[in-house]
Amino acid sequence: MKVLFTSPIIEHPAAGGPQLRIENSIKALNEICELHVISRASRRSLGGIKAEKFYKRHCVNFIYVPRVKFFFENKVLRDMEFGFNKKFLDKDEDFIINYIKQNKIDIIWFGYGNISYELMKNIKKKVPQIKMICDTDSVWSRFVLRGIPYEKDIHKKKLIEKEGRKKEQEEKEWVEFCDVTTAVSKVDAEYYKELTEDKNKIKLFSNVIDLRNYEDAGERPMNFQNPCIYLAGTFEPNSPMDKAARWVLDNVWDKLKEIIPDIRFYIIGNGSKNTLSDINDEAISIVGKVDSVLPYLKNADVALVPLFFESGTRFKILEAAACKIPIVSTTLGAEGIPVESGQNILIADEADDFVENIVKLIKDKEFARIIAENCNRLIEDKYGIQNLIEEGNLILRYIEKKE
């Protein structure tokens, strides 16, 4: 089958979970179909020529929508590349439709379809015969609405509520007009199934990792110190990661230092230096964006996933497990992944319990090793690229039978 994959988020090397999902989706789909890729991110945001060459190796054709090609060649400011100006969206739409017709595409697969609603809707109206897959990384309405309890400003609460309800309506609509909606976990799949009478059109397409990428840690970072805890993600003001880091800093960190005075804390990820610029503690290293988290992650004693609002499944857990680093998470942080506290992860939602779990893993090396190895086996069994290939095959076979 000829599949056209398009996404507004694409990058190599992947800087975070969203980019990692797209990279691994493309790798998997390339194994089971004739894959064409249209990037709605520019070469610059993609990662340059090297990244472009990487993706060209994993599909039969890799091109950009004219909008981002124009902005890149004319060196227009980066923030305009992602603007949702209707004129530019119309050009994207026309370009994709022409490509579908000229190349006799069977399926258009929208990576991050949950932020591509207008484009999906318009293309389906103009090319109703095209089979369409809305690929989701989460339940976006949950991602938005779960933030309400953590916002103090009443006006902002109302804006969050409005945005979340709008996403709920979009979810109801695309589940009906798309031939398949994918979910990254059974938890998310159950949500989408409640929106349609045809439960069969909701399919799993999980977050996975390419385990081969975690074999080489690279060099240990200069001046890296143990014992330490590690937190990685994408940081924006008032984002789930920003709130998670603040929760650890405000409720966990001082208690942890009292028990382990020489403990160090490494915070990694795009935007972290900006959102946490007020932190001034010699024992805390706010590293910012790095080419690879592995030199830090593989040398950490404990990886943290202290999330209280999010949706989907966490690459933070998959990556730490791949590196055999024990994990302490909140309940929501581990949502959608079949982990069991005390067996392959430690779960805590209260600060004192979170501290206790970190201390246990740092002080009891044998217990930490067992927890980490158990989680590693789970990830190897259920969350590798081969698993995604199998799920992708099931989706394509389902669509073939519908024709």
What is the average pLDDT across 85-110?
Answer: 87
Q: What is the mean pLDDT of residues 377-403?
A: 94
Average pLDDT value over all residues in the chain:
92
Instruction: Give this prediction's pTM.
Output: 0.90
pLDDT at 150: 86
Gap between the Cα atoms of 283 and 257, Å rounded: 10
Predicted pLDDT at 86: 55
Cα–Cα distance list, 111 to 115, 138, 199, 366, 396 (Å): 9, 12, 21, 41, 15
Are residue 249 and residue 314 in the same domain, yes or no?
Answer: yes
pLDDT in tens, 232-262: 998 988 889 999 999 999 999 999 999 999 9
Cα 157 to Cα 144, 150, 244, 308, 353: the distances in Å are: 10, 9, 19, 16, 29
Average pLDDT for 391-398: 97
Specify whether 354 is located in the same domain as 373.
Answer: yes
**Do 289 and 174 reside in the same domain of the chain?**
no
Could you tell me the pLDDT band of residue 215, with boundaries at 50, 70 and 90?
Answer: confident
Residue 266's DSSP bridge partners are 230, 285
Residues 237 and 256 in one domain: yes
Residue 283: predicted pLDDT: 97
42 lies in the same domain as 141: yes
pLDDT value of residue 88: 60
Q: What is the separation of C-alpha 223 from the centre of its chain, rounded to a whole number of angstroms?
A: 30
Q: What is the pLDDT of residue 66?
A: 84
The Cα–Cα gap between 299 and 340 comes to: 24
Of the two residues 70 and 131, the one the predictor is more confident about is 131
State the pLDDT at residue 142. Answer: 94
Share of the chain above pLDDT 90, in %: 83
Q: Which amino acid is at 42?
A: S
Judge if 317 and 333 occupy the same domain. yes
Q: In this structure, are 148 and 9 located in the same domain? A: yes
CATH number of the domain encompassing residue 135: 3.40.50.2000
What was the pLDDT predicted at 135?
97
On whether both 35 and 125 belong to a single domain, the answer is yes
Q: What is the pLDDT of residues 342-372, one digit of tens each?
A: 999 999 999 999 999 999 999 999 999 999 9
Residues 262, 191 share a domain? no
Count helices and strands in the chain by DSSP H and E runs? 18, 13
Region of 54 on the Ramachandran plot (φ > 0 left; ψ -120 to 50 alpha; else beta): alpha
**pLDDT at residue 355 in the model:** 98
Q: Is the pLDDT of residue 308 over 50?
A: yes
Residue 75, pLDDT above cutoff 90: no
CA distance 90 to 123: 10
Q: Do 191 and 269 share a domain, yes or no?
A: no
- Structure-model confidence comparison of residues 90 and 391, the more confident one: 391
Q: 133 with 106: CB under 8 angstroms?
A: no
**DSSP codes, 120-162:** HHHHHHH-TTSEEEEE-SS-HHHHHHTTGGG---HHHHHHHHH
* pLDDT the model gives residue 359: 98
Residue 78 is predicted with a pLDDT of 39
Q: Residue 247 sits in which domain range?
A: 213-382
Structural domains counted in the chain: 2
Please give the average per-residue pLDDT across 179-200, as a whole number. Answer: 97
On whether both 49 and 83 belong to a single domain, the answer is yes
For 111-167, write each residue's pLDDT tens digit.
Answer: 999 999 999 999 999 999 999 999 999 999 999 999 999 888 999 999 999 999 999
The reply to whether 168 and 128 lie within a common domain is yes
For the chain, report the end-to-end CA distance as a whole number of angstroms: 12
CB neighbours of residue 56 within 10 Å: 13
